[in-house]
Amino acid sequence: MKIKHPYKCDGCLRLKGENESRWYLCLAKVVDPVTGDPEYIDGFALIPWDDKRSDDPDVLQHLCSADCCMKSLGKWLSVKDLVFKELLSSPVAEEMLRGELTSR
Ligand SMILES: [Zn+2]
């Protein structure tokens, strides 16, 4: 199958060769295995490369290797960690934690 436009790895910017199949897609949503409904998840989902899905709007990243997947996961975790720390240090969170502690 001829690739209409070459894909570029969102990790290292390497171009995908026509016959390279060991790439990965990082998805913003996954299909519920029971109902078949696509569901948005606040998570990090990887699937092996699939030509039919590579242009789907739910594909966040095209990744060329396990190494680029690990780096991408590391970035995602860093962002989540920052959000988590920020939430914990907010006045609302402090109030909630205080309330939680005093109600025991
Ligand atoms: Zn890469």
Q: Is residue 47 part of a domain?
A: yes
Q: Write out the residues surrounding ion ligand 1, Cβ under 5 A.
A: 9, 11-12, 64, 68
Residue 78: give the domain boundaries: 24-102
Q: Is residue 13 part of a domain?
A: no
98, pLDDT greater than 60: yes
Q: Is residue 36 part of a domain?
A: yes
pLDDT-based confidence at residue 4 (cuts at 50, 70, 90) = low
Token readout for 1 is 């199958």
Residue 24's closest CA among 3, 2, 54?
A: 54
Token readout for 50 is 């699939």
Token readout for 64 is 């060329």
Taking residue 102's Cβ as centre, other Cβ atoms within 10 Å add up to 7
Distance 49 CA to ligand 1 centre (A): 13
Q: Is residue 69 part of a domain?
A: yes
Q: Is residue 62 part of a domain?
A: yes
Count of domains observed in the chain: 1
Task: Specify the pLDDT at position 1.
Answer: 46
Q: Is residue 3 part of a domain?
A: no
pTM of this prediction exceeds 0.75:
no
Q: Is residue 14 part of a domain?
A: no
pLDDT-based confidence at residue 68 (cuts at 50, 70, 90) = very high
